[in-house]
């Protein structure tokens, strides 16, 4: 058989395929729900510990195991090597040793793992012991669980010890669970580490846009959430500052209240305009940070720089001439809900199928989020003044939208909040610019910064979770709730069709085959949770009727029959 590719094209394709497979394999895949009050299982613990051991933690004197192994084996510049060729044999070698070291640690403890690593890779025990000691303390805390005891103490009105709120891999000090989660001091945000990481992520984002469009975007819309800025000490905030071309400055009390402009010669690119929609939680937690962001945009807008190197200034002067608004209005870039309100409601509209045209979803987003947090012409603080025309105007210049993923456990199809925010704003931009923006997500999870398009992320999540037997069998162990989680994933996937047309049709086909058209599987779902079994089948039909998926008529008929039978069954037990 002759191939339509020549051999180097074929090699490049095989390599890309291999990289994609590795990426799925390397994801940490949650294998079930957390059960309040109980400790996790051994296999799960091993995966978490391997992830924990993949980060350098200078504050704890512990290095990443992979780095220690690479050093001992004399592999130069391991980090750069990973960035350039994620699928090399070297990586396989190092990963293999890391996995075995963690496995041995779980079997025999820190000392044994350290001496094994010395024999296997020549890593001196005194170098690896701080890392294994960290794993030992995490492992002990994962084996115990005080959640029920703490809940009972809370119900008695007794004192609950505080603990930081974060992702376990990013900050193992979140353990033990069952404590009173505290957030951050908003004046400490962004931290220096967050700013350094943000530079890498924001530059990778611009590089990706540049590769696809041949130029920088004039304006980006960013979604900022409270919890992920707590977890990352403000990486999202720092990305916005870096895109604008400013850095945070601390005052005499070590509070981040000022910014400093980075000269264009140092920045080596134009300043990018950023439209920030912040969640209600962010607004409540980070008032001084919102002031900082507003200040940064104002400062950049008044810099005496060429318009093609300062998109903020260019966009604002265009608004002032085209929309006849004053500078103080045109410069508004920080938007959120009205005071006391939360969320976009786009998720509820999608879940309840209460929409006719997709544009309604973007409009709802703007209706909920068009409250300006800024200053007026007299310098007085404006907190949540309705400014729909200003948000419409700012969005009408946006060319790309972006949000960070900040947790190993919660991805874009696990909850409806990612599509209500990133999907909602992307649809709002699309209807205002008459063109779909480039939509990206950043992975602030791994030591290597990674930018993916929304479509890539949907594919990755679908393969790593929804269609992965390891994930769905883990869910099915939870019976009723597990089936509801599978249904949620399918509905959230659908949310990405409705808001951004980001779901390739094969995804719906495979979901149908896996969960509905396989009679054994469907019966399992039906036994455990007939309501969710019916809803997920209806959602697949909705994907078809709304034009996101066009399977053979035979499949559609089968799905309809199945809904019919399920209705009969539910009516039979009086559950409708
Ligand atoms: C937040 O952290 O701001 C957030 C969390 C969940 C949904 C929406 C926002
Ligand atoms: Mg929720």
In DSSP notation, 9-68 reads HHHHHHHHHHHHHHHHHHS----SPPPTT----HHHHHHHHHHHTTS-BGGGTB--HHHH
Q: Which ligand is nearest to the CA of 227?
A: 1
DSSP 8-state symbol, 310: B
Best residue for ligand 1 mutational test, from 335, 345, 417 (most atoms within 8 Å of Cβ): 417
Using CA atoms of 301, 273, 84, 6 in order, give the dihedral in degrees to the nearest 10: -130
- Considering only CA atoms, give the Rg of the chain: 25
Under 8 Å between Cβ of 243 and 312: no
> Phi and psi at residue 277, in whole multiples of 5°?
-110, 120
Q: Which ligand is nearest to the CA of 230?
A: 1
Under 8 Å between Cβ of 514 and 521: yes
Best residue for ligand 1 mutational test, from 227, 343, 405, 414 (most atoms within 8 Å of Cβ): 227
How many CA atoms does the CB half-sphere of 426 hold within 13 Å? 26
Atom of ligand 1 minimally distant from the CA of 282: 3
The Å distance, Cα 284 to ligand 1 centre, comes to: 11
Pocket of ligand 1 (CB under 6 A): 225-227, 279, 281-282, 417
DSSP 8-state symbol, 423: I
pLDDT for the residue 148: 94
State how far the Cα of 472 lies from the Cα of 165, in Å rounded to an integer: 28
pLDDT for the residue 79: 72
- 285: part of which helix (H) or strand (E)? helix 280-285
Sequence-ordered list of residues with C-beta below 8 angstroms from that of 153, at least 6 positions apart, any chain:
159, 160
The Å distance, Cα 417 to ligand 1 centre, comes to: 7
- Residue with the smallest CA separation from ligand 1 atom 4 is 225
Best residue for ligand 1 mutational test, from 189, 222, 226, 232 (most atoms within 8 Å of Cβ): 226
The Å distance, Cα 420 to ligand 2 centre, comes to: 11
Q: Which ligand is nearest to the CA of 416?
A: 2
Sequence-ordered list of residues with C-beta below 8 angstroms from that of 445, at least 6 positions apart, any chain:
167, 169, 170, 405, 406, 407, 408
State how far the Cα of 76 lies from the Cα of 536, in Å rounded to an integer: 50
State how far the Cα of 229 lies from the Cα of 241, in Å rounded to an integer: 14
The Å distance, Cα 279 to ligand 1 centre, comes to: 6
Q: Which ligand is nearest to the CA of 229?
A: 1
Mean pLDDT by 10 residues, the chain (576 residues): 76 83 72 81 82 83 91 81 70 91 94 95 95 94 89 95 79 86 84 88 96 98 93 92 97 92 98 98 95 97 98 97 92 97 98 96 98 92 95 98 86 96 98 97 76 96 95 95 97 98 98 97 97 97 98 96 90 65
| β-pair partners for 372 | 335, 385
The Å distance, Cα 415 to ligand 2 centre, comes to: 7
Q: Could you tell me whether strands 450-453 and 438-443 are parallel, antiparallel, or unpaired per DSSP bridges?
A: antiparallel
Residue 238 is encoded by which pair of tokens?
């720092």
């Amino acid at each position: 058989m002759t191939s339509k590719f020549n051999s180097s094209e074929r090699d490049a394709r095989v390599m890309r395929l291999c990289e994609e497979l590795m990426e799925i394999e390397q994801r940490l895949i949650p294998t079930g729900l957390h059960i309040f009050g109980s400790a996790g299982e051994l296999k799960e613990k091993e995966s978490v510990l391997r992830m924990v051991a993949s980060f350098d933690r200078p504050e704890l004197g512990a290095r990443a195991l992979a780095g220690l192994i690479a050093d001992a084996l004399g592999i130069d510049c391991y980090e750069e090597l990973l960035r350039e060729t994620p699928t090399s044999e070297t990586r396989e070698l190092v990963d293999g040793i890391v996995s075995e070291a963690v496995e041995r640690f779980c079997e025999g403890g820190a000392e044994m793992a350290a001496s094994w690593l010395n024999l296997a890779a020549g890593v001196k025990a005194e170098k690896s012991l701080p890392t294994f000691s960290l794993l030992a303390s995490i492992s002990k805390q994962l084996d115990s669980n005080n959640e029920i005891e703490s809940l009972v103490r809370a119900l008695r009105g007794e004192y609950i010890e505080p603990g930081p709120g974060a992702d376990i891999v990013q900050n193992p000090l979140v353990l033990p669970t069952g404590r009173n989660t505290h957030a951050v001091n908003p004046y400490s945000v962004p931290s220096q580490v967050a700013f350094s990481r943000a530079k890498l992520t924001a530059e990778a984002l611009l590089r990706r846009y540049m590769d696809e469009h041949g130029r920088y975007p004039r304006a980006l819309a960013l979604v900022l959430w409270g919890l992920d800025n707590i977890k990352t000490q403000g990486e999202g905030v720092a990305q916005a500052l870096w895109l604008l071309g400013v850095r945070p400055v601390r005052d005499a009390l070590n509070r981040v209240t000022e910014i400093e402009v980075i000269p264009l010669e140092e920045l080596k690119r134009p300043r990018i305009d950023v439209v920030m929609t912040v969640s209600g939680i962010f607004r409540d937690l980070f008032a001084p940070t919102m002031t900082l962001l507003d200040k940064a945009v104002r400062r950049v807008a008044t810099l005496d720089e060429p318009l093609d190197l300062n998109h903020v200034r260019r966009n604002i002067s265009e608004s002032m001439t085209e929309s006849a608004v004053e500078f103080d209005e045109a410069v508004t870039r920080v938007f959120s809900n009205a005071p006391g309100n939360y969320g976009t409601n786009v998720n509820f509209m999608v879940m309840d199928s209460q929409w006719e045209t997709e544009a309604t979803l973007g409009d709802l987003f703007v209706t909920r989020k068009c409250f300006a947090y800024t200053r007026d012409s007299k310098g007085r603080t404006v907190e949540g003044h309705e400014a729909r025309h200003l948000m419409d105007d700012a969005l009408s210049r946006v060319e790309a939208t972006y949000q960070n993923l900040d947790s190993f456990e919660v991805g874009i199809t696990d909850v409806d909040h990612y599509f209500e925010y990133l999907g909602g704003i992307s649809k709002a931009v699309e209807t205002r610019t008459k063109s779909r923006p480039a939509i990206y997500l950043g992975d602030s999870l791994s030591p290597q910064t990674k930018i993916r398009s929304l479509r890539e992320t949907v594919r990755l999540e679908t393969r790593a979770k929804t269609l992965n037997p390891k994930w769905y069998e883990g869910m099915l162990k939870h019976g009723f709730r597990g089936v509801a989680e599978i249904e949620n994933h399918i509905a959230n996937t659908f949310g990405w069709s409705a808001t951004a047309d980001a779901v390739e049709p094969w995804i719906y086909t495979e979901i149908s085959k896996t969960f509905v058209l396989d009679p054994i599987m469907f019966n399992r779902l039906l036994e455990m949770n007939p309501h969710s079994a019916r809803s997920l089948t209806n959602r697949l039909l909705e994907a078809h009727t709304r034009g996101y998926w066009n399977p053979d008529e035979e499949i559609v008929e089968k799905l309809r029959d199945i809904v019919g039978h399920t209705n009969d069954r539910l009516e039979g037990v009086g559950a409708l």
